[in-house]
Amino acid sequence: MGFQSFDSSDDQAACAPRTALLRAALKTLRLDGLLIPRTDRHQDEYVPASDERLRWLTGFDGSAGMAVVLTRKAAIFTDGRYVLQVKAQVDGAVYETHNSADTTAFAWLGANLKAGQRLGYDPWLHTVSDAEKLSRACADAGAELIALEANPVDEIWHDRPAPPSTPVVLHPLKYAGTPATEKIAAVRRTIRDDRLDAVVLTLPDSVCWLFNIRGRDLPHTPVVLAFTIVPARGRPQLFVERARLGRPVRAYLSGIARVRPPSAFETALGELGAKSKCVGLDPTRAARAVSARLEATGATVKHRADPCLLPKAIKTAAEIRGTRAAHRRDGAAVTRFLAWLDAEADRGNLSEIDAAIKLEGFRQDTGRLCDLSFDTISGAGPHGAIVHYRVTRKSNRKLKPDTLYLIDSGGQYRDGTTDITRNVAIGTPSGEMRRHFTLVLKGHIALAAALFPAGTSGA
């Protein structure tokens, strides 16, 4: 825990030589290109340091993006949140930058791949659905999509950090509200109703919800990076290193699941296939490698939504109480911060980093803070307009009088997670500031008061 400022300037300077190294590795593998997504085997938004391949290669450290490196061209694709950040962090002489809302990676590949070329991808880092889209894009261009056994980036990333190995902890029933045995029984009923023999769960939040466990494998997200297989009948299999389980946790999990090492996961998938099982898998969330392993060993894969998603979204009374308590506690900390800011900011001595550290201090004063819920967005003046801005020692600005200051932050507590954003006028706001602030406020009020037809998804 602790506020961190981010500076990827070293990675940006290394962008060109690292990309050159990658191209040399691809040539050895007889590949004409490679896809480098910003994800891990679990398709997480946050990833451990050992899976920050996109940042290491390009310098871009946003939470969503993908690079495509071809023999003579390269491009990086991000969503609208990062159009400014990606241009600032990535060497534009090496990578084209694209907003994926305007140009998708699939469309770019269709325009730039040549007939007969071989495009490599790591099937552990792409969902089943995305792999199908990539395959179609390659086929339309007359190229071939090649699933790789090993990731070429890992081969050249010689100082790659070790994977996380934090202890697994229990999530008490007073916070969860429902025992893991009841959750497992409910998932089994769903499996049987769908006429499946088993489901494979790949999302760490689903796994942690199902077993009432937590971890610190990812920054700001209290999950354990683990897979599980839940059969229609019998005990689930949970794939996590036993060394990470203290005696109470080991005894608890051994009572409700068969605990196996992560290295046994692919073997277990093969065991399902050998028994010709009908297995449910969420194609929008599970890695293509999981589906491929099941299919290669004889299993019938049925595309089904992760059965934990809906029940996980329906909060228990205990979870609702916890959320309210966390927000009251956190709101008091933020109110203390705003009072402090009101007293100190006009002097013009505070910086973005000073403010972020002070706010975290107020949260720590509660005695209940486990972590921040995301990297604090502390943006003074023009930095407040940069979506998901993260201050660095180099970019750190003063909070100057008669400007606006954006603070977007949150806390992780055992009983709930918070996320709160405030725009603060430092000094006297101008007429233009008042006008735009009021227009945004009116928009929020209109949205809150709107009546939506039944069945509206909100997508």
* 436 and 372 fall within a common domain: yes
Confirm whether 236 is domain-assigned: yes
What CATH number did the domain enclosing 259 receive? 3.40.350.10
The residue length of the chain stands at 459
* 381 and 397 fall within a common domain: yes
Confirm whether 109 is domain-assigned: yes
Q: What is the pLDDT at residue 386? A: 85
Main-chain phi, psi angles of 36, to 5 degrees: -125, 90
Apex CA 42: angle with CA 210 and CA 178, to 5°? 10
Domain count, the chain: 3
Confirm whether 268 is domain-assigned: yes
Confirm whether 161 is domain-assigned: no
Give tens-digit pLDDT for 37-66: 999 999 988 899 999 999 999 999 888 999
Q: What is the pLDDT at residue 7? A: 53
Boundaries of domain holding 242: 169-313
DSSP 234: S
For the record, the structure tokens of 441 come out as 């406020």
Q: What is the pLDDT at residue 458? A: 73
* 421 and 295 fall within a common domain: no
* 180 and 85 fall within a common domain: no
Q: What is the pLDDT at residue 327? A: 98
Tally Cβ neighbours within 10 Å of residue 269: 25
* 218 and 256 fall within a common domain: yes
Q: What is the pLDDT at residue 373? A: 95
Give the CA-trace dihedral at 184, 185, 187, 193, to 10 degrees.
160
* 23 and 141 fall within a common domain: yes
CA-to-CA distance for 177 and 171, rounded, in angstroms? Answer: 10
* 146 and 284 fall within a common domain: no
**Residue 35 near residue 45, CB atoms below 8 Å:** no
* 332 and 280 fall within a common domain: no
Confirm whether 424 is domain-assigned: yes
Q: Is the dihedral of CA 39, 44, 50, 52 positive or negative?
A: positive
Main-chain phi, psi angles of 30, to 5 degrees: 60, 45
What CATH number did the domain enclosing 442 receive? 3.90.230.10
- Ranges under pLDDT 70 in the chain: 1-11
Confirm whether 142 is domain-assigned: yes
For the record, the structure tokens of 18 come out as 């690292």
Of 291, 313, 335, the residue that ends a domain is 313
* 125 and 179 fall within a common domain: no
CA-to-CA distance for 333 and 114, rounded, in angstroms? Answer: 57
* 145 and 39 fall within a common domain: yes
Of 260, 288, 313, the residue that ends a domain is 313
CA-to-CA distance for 130 and 368, rounded, in angstroms? Answer: 40
Angstrom distances, CA of residue 66 to CA of 54, 109, 130, 362, 448: 7, 12, 12, 37, 34
Confirm whether 162 is domain-assigned: no
Confirm whether 1 is domain-assigned: no
Q: What is the pLDDT at residue 217? A: 95
* 370 and 406 fall within a common domain: yes
Q: What is the pLDDT at residue 97? A: 96
**Residue 78 near residue 60, CB atoms below 8 Å:** yes
Of 280, 296, 313, the residue that ends a domain is 313
* 380 and 298 fall within a common domain: no
DSSP 49: G
